[in-house]
Chains A and B, each alone.
Chain A
Amino acid sequence: MENLIALLVAAPLLGAAVLLCGGRRLDAVGHWIGVLMSSASFVFGVILFADLLGKDAEHRTLMQHLFSWVPVEGFQADVAFRLDQLSVTFVLLITGVGSLIHLYSVGYMEHDERRRRFFGYLNLFLAAMLLLVLADNYLLLYVGWEGVGLASYLLIGFWQHKPSAATAAKKAFLVNRVGDMGLSIAIMLMFTTFGTFAFGPVLSHTGDTSEGKLTAIGLMLLLAACGKSAQVPLQSWLGDAMEGPTPVSALIHAATMVTAGVYLIVRSGAIFNAAPDAQLAVTVVGAVTLLFGAIVGCAKDDIKKALAGSTMSQIGYMVLAAGLGPIGYVFAIMHLVTHGFFKAGLFLGAGSVMHGMNDEVDMRKYGGLRKYMPVTFITFGLGYLAIIGFPGLSGFFSKDKIIEAAFAKGGTEGWILGTCALLGAAITAFYMTRVMLMTFFGEERWKNQPTRSPEAPSAEPAAEHHGEHAEPHPHESPKVMTIPMIVLAVGSVFGGAFFSIGDRFLHWLEPVTGHSEGDSPLSAAAVTGGTMVCLLIGVGIAWAMYGRRPVPAVAPRGSLLTRAARRDLLQDDFNHVVLVRGGEHLTRSLVYVDHTLVDGVVNGTAASVGGLSGRMRKLQNGFARSYAVSMFGGAAILIAATLLMRAV
């Protein structure tokens, strides 16, 4: 059974190799190869999952040692896989949602002439992501970590002919480098501290290591998580990453890759448990990001960017939960899984809307679409209800647990974190209701106006049908797109209840992550009640602003906060002033030093050697008599020097 683990990774890797090396011959069938490989991986995942279920809770870990990767004395790294409850959960999410999105992409990318390559990249992403969650040591995890970064870069910039897409890809790559540096430093610290980086030895020896070292490792891991999961202060890339095709946004930038940071923190739980300061930093990052993302989501008129803000915010919840330690690990992962369903569903819904609207992304040019796209409306609506935490749907269970856990942290910290989480719930309800109302309700603002902006991607399919400036004719998407949306909607509705009733998910994951109830100052019922009140407030305000009043087609100027939020709370301005300008000044001064001092010395030396050469060359005047004099002088000096040596 263990031998199946490698196949999980191998299937999509083979798919990527075949698709990317196969050339044009595979253009006709390439997408189905991609779907097949991803589904195969899902089937292997299900088989392994069934196998784990058949064992008792303490023995649900499968190990596969593939080969010795770096067999150096004192530095051992193996290519070895670990499949336990935590990683199999990820495997099912990645391959399940991944397969659905592969299927959806068959329709979505139908008119793109580079579809084969797109599927190759998607397969590559799956392989890297599976490697990340299956690795049995941090070094191999790092390989997967970089692999998903590469796939993300390639897919964000998939429409590379658009300068905005190319820039966004570069931005994502650069920001992620900062986080990756954190991971590499963490791995080096682990090696110097523990002499190894395999999960087993590292995580079982945290007890006999100084807290300072563990805090350092923890903070570096947090930096890594911030980069990959778009947490403050490395959040700036996620909004721009929406330049990628929508299936990519759904799979990589909502459901799976961006949650890798949460996986990293939960997997390294033992380190964080022993380093309270690092844990506190994690919770702070989570709380700040969940509010940051939510506020940004409120102000965006671009449907994908609003959803991106939401993703950031929801991952903030997960990171917050992961920072709470054993109180929150299970709920972080649970929210991660339910979020994977409903956010992927929401993105696919958004993609479907764009598909029917000539790739228009501005919600102010939508409106009243529920009549034209019933399936999209219903699935999107169910995802909407799930994310705002409507009772009974999956977001209700998972988010509620996180808010409870935040209060259960205890003390002032608990109150602050809990309040942030509650506030976040209210804002979530507001911005998601706003998206819903602006898109599917109200007057049909798209009538009588050309919507397609000239710089929108020509590769998007609808454009070719409707021409540059035609009025959009909203229509439902084909089955190959709606079926994945329906499946994900089902998951968004029932997932939370399935996990929570009888604490199924808790019992499943507890052997890996550990669990403690904490000490909440509020009863569970009180928290739930508070959450409901927040939800109603958020929905109510949104209704008052966007449901009762018509939505202006051109965005009003808005308050200072709104304007800031439209600019992502000035993240790019901040980065520009602090990092870009600062960096420019630093490089300029370095260049100055290099030019004047270093080059001065080098060029000066070269020039003086050259000058010396020119002058010495003049001695070579071609006259044998001068040569003879030189020889005679040389001989005289030689003899004199020899005699002098004896005299000395």
Chain B
Amino acid sequence: MSATAVHSLWTTAAAGTDSISKIPAPKIEYGQLSPTLIVVGAAIVGVLIEAFVPRRSRYYAQVFVSAVALCAAFAAVVALAADGYGTTKAHIAAMGAIAVDGPSLFLQGTILLAGLVGLFTFAERRLDPEAHGNRVDSFAAQAASVPGSDSEKAAVKAGFTTTEVFPLLLFAIAGMLVFPSANDLLTLFVALEVFSLPLYLLCALARRKRLMSQEAAVKYFLLGAFASAFTLFGIALLYGYAGSVSYARIAQVVDGTVTNVDPALADTMGNDALLLVGGAMIVMGLLFKVGAVPFHMWTPDVYQGAPTPVTGFMAAATKVAAFGALLRLLYVVLPGLRWDWRPVMWAVAIVTMLGGAIVAITQTDIKRLLAYSSIAHAGFILAGVIATSKDGVSSVLFYLGAYSFVTIGAFAVVTLVRDAGGEATHLSKWAGLGRRSPLVAAVFAVFLLAFAGIPLTSGFAGKFAVFKAAAEGGAAPLVVVGVISSAVAAFFYIRVIVLMFFSEPRPEGPTVAVPSPLTMTAIGLGVVVTLVLGVAPQYFLDLASQAGVFVR
């Protein structure tokens, strides 16, 4: 065997020139991985419930198991953080595959909370009128039935519901938990697929406008697969460059601290072209997931077509997970390439901020509007990523936490405004909503103001933090562009507020459904977090600041 240090199971297997017997038994720190394990376990239990529990009780069993699992996983994260795994005891677990450190725990906590709130919106069953005496949720009665067919009608009549969404949600969350803490490229890829595939499915499951939903899912799947291919290719190239998929090992090769050449890779190791091209391709896969321009085209179509609870969850949690992974990749693996990737990321951030904000101006559908808004926000977060400082990390962490609650809350409000065709997402139907349902309109206005970054909302604190970090990190022009696109973005957020409060209601306008306590909790939590983080952000900024160091 070569003198190369054995860094992980994977590298050993890949380098496998020696006999199998030398592979050491993997050492797994189950306690430190417990948040992920709990969620994966619950997802498997959910599959079993689908198999063995009678149809009538499945919904309750699924919601119960999911809620308990998410709460338990969150408790595990808090326990690990309290135990010091976020700071002093941060280390790399599972034979180098998973990093347990501040950013991991912070982001896992955020994803779990977003997942819990998302679960509430998934479980909502009071918005649609009852079909044949059965309460229905936002998901298709039977996913396999062709839209408009007799079998669909029969499924609706029989009161079927797709309770599979709950295990799918849990699998997605499990993948997202691993994604930002993955410490080698293969774990990264596996996590990417684990959370992507359930999301593709979930997108196709809308109860209303099923064709649009399925179209969205297919597009998402095709483009997602395309992006995954890039990522995988990039991983291969990086392996060729460093002879390892471990983050730490690649970083060392980049730094030049390890130069030993694996004989099998003697031709490629240390070839900078491989490094640059491979790195760019992996980054591209991640930029696809966060919805950065020019990899954003799927976002509006998918956000619009997917069932709104799925959109809300996806918009919040995917962004958190993907930015976490991006941060780790750029800060741990490629810091030595800072001078190569920073200018490119600058350009991406600028076109993302401006593109998202500008195209949003002419949108007429509230879900598409929010989709473009999320693109613009991805640009703002990228500005914080580019800061390449500890403040940059913590500001991004804070922004992600704040943003995910606003997003889920906003999409939850969208589920409430309905007419005969389901959700009334066309903006013209929202005219005068403030006169008919002042409370709902006011809550939505709070979310819009937070998106716009108006002071006393979490949006302001977050934006201020990332822009400050970016400016201190030497990216002042980026901040200028950010502020300009914030101004552009403010136009369409405020326009919706004006539409809601200062326009005459239309006679055939939509009604506002009275939700169950589940959605109310989701929305209420969103408002409370938005205002608390806006009025008194310091505690959470400190928390994010403590969590802002990656283990290497």
Contacts and interface: CB of A to CB of B under 8 A. Distances in A.
Interface of A: 606, 609-610, 612-614, 616-617, 619-620, 622, 624, 626-628, 630-635, 637-639, 641-643, 645-646
Contact of B297 (A612, A626, A635, A638): A626
A645 B301 contact: no
B297 A630 contact: yes
Interface in B358-415: 358-363
B280 interface: yes
For the complex of A and B, list the 5 residue pairs with the smallest distance between their C-beta atoms, beginning with the closest.
A634-B294, A627-B297, A613-B361, A613-B362, A639-B280
Contacts of B272: 646
A620 B300 contact: yes
Contacts of A620: 297, 300-301, 359
Interface string B340-364: 1101100110000001001111110
A627 B223 contact: yes
A638 B273 CA distance: 13
A635 B359 contact: no
A215 B222 CA distance: 82
16 contacts: A609-B358, A613-B358, A616-B355, A620-B297, A620-B359, A624-B218, A624-B222, A624-B223, A627-B297, A630-B297, A631-B227, A631-B295, A634-B295, A637-B294, A638-B344, A641-B344
Contacts of B358: 609, 612-613, 616
A631 B344 contact: no
A213 B272 CA distance: 73
B219 interface: yes
Contact of B281 (A606, A619, A635, A641): A635
Contacts of B226: 628, 631-632
B361 to A, nearest CB: 4
B279 interface: yes
Nearest to B215: A622
Contact of A610 (B339, B348, B362): B362
B454 interface: no
Nearest to B297: A627
A643 B219 CA distance: 30
A619 B488 CA distance: 20
Contact of A642 (B280, B301, B360, B488): B280
Contacts of A637: 294
B230 interface: yes
A19 B293 CA distance: 66
Contact of B288 (A610, A613, A631, A642): A631
Give the secondary structure class of A's interface. helix
Interface in B439-474: none
B276 interface: yes
Contacts of A642: 276-277, 279-280, 340-341, 344
Contacts of B281: 635, 639
Contacts of A606: 491
B225 to A, nearest CB: 10
Contact of B298 (A627, A643, A645): A627
B288 A638 contact: no
A643 B362 contact: no
Contacts of A609: 358, 361, 488
A633 to B, nearest CB: 7
Given A627-B297, A635-B281, A614 B219 contact: no
B343 A645 contact: yes
B192 interface: no
Contact of A643 (B218, B273, B295): B273
A641 B340 CA distance: 9
Given A614-B362, A616-B359, A624-B222, 17 more contacts: A609-B488, A612-B358, A613-B358, A616-B355, A617-B362, A617-B363, A620-B297, A620-B301, A627-B297, A628-B222, A630-B295, A631-B294, A632-B226, A637-B294, A639-B276, A643-B273, A645-B341
A645 B339 contact: yes
Interface string B244-280: 0000000000000000000000000000110011011
B283 interface: yes
Contacts of A646: 272, 276, 340
B205 interface: no
A635 B223 contact: no
B404 to A, nearest CB: 25
A212 B474 CA distance: 50
A273 to B, nearest CB: 52
B424 interface: no
A245 to B, nearest CB: 42
